[in-house]
Amino acid sequence: QSVLTQPPSVSGAPGQRVTMSCTGNRSNIGAGYDVHWYQQLPGTAPKVLIYGNTNRPSGVPDRFSGAKSGTSGSLAITGLQTEDEADYYCQSYDSTLSRVVFGGGTKLTV
Amino acid sequence: EVQLLESGGALVQPGGSLRVSCAASGFTFGSYAMSWVRQAPGKGLEWVSTISGGGGSTHFADSVKGRFTISRDSSKNTVYLQMNSLRAEDTALYYCARRNSAMMGFFFDYWGQGTLVTVSS
């Protein structure tokens, strides 16, 4: 049971927009800790996609965007491409557990 | 270019020990905390341990506390994870990751390719 809750799967057609959620509580996201997102393509290591709720590292297309509100974060992908098919994980910090916490991951099917 | 290269993964019997390593390059090693994150087959990501840039502070997940230790050698730009009393549930791909700071909290900005640890008789 992950501390952060993500939907197991989302899907969309090429060119469409999808969003995925990451729900925490008052000890993590709701306490003000940032939400970060990672993309894990099949058979590869995770890669940071969004950090600090809304920031994209250089090289990440602006089709990817992040947001945070209350006890939840969200990742939006516009102009879906087949190469976006991957697992997406959110991550934050939990003050009660005093450790980094991950969501269980969302599998995106395009 | 930042590079993290893990090594040392192997098949180990339950109750056994193993040390995995992560050689870092392309950045000022001592300026960053380093972490291990694992992923069991077909499962999600689980933070395992973090060591501060100077090596004086370490943190562990409850699932490995008392069994795993983390260390770093600044002369070799390498971080180690010593795993003792290994259990079947420790079977996973172990990733080395560089920890960076956000406005509120931490994230992992670079990851290695992982090293596979299998605990089985």
Beta strands in A1-110, from DSSP E residues, in sequence order = 9-11, 18-23, 36-40, 47-50, 64-69, 72-77, 86-94, 99-102, 106-109
Task: Note the pLDDT of residue A1.
Answer: 84
CB A51 to CB B102 under 8 A?
yes
CB A32 to CB B46 under 8 A?
no
- Segment B52-68 shows an average pLDDT of 96
- Segment B92-117 shows an average pLDDT of 95
- Nearest-angstrom CA–CA distance, A62 and A22: 20
Size of the A and B interface in Cβ pairs below 8 Å: 65
What is the residue-averaged pLDDT of chain B? 97
pLDDT of residue B82 exceeding 90, the answer is yes
- Nearest-angstrom CA–CA distance, B82 and A14: 45
> If pLDDT is split at 50, 70 and 90, which confidence band does B102 have?
confident
Give the 3-state secondary structure of residue B113.
coil
> If pLDDT is split at 50, 70 and 90, which confidence band does B37 have?
very high
Amino acid at position A106, single letter: T
> If pLDDT is split at 50, 70 and 90, which confidence band does B100 have?
very high
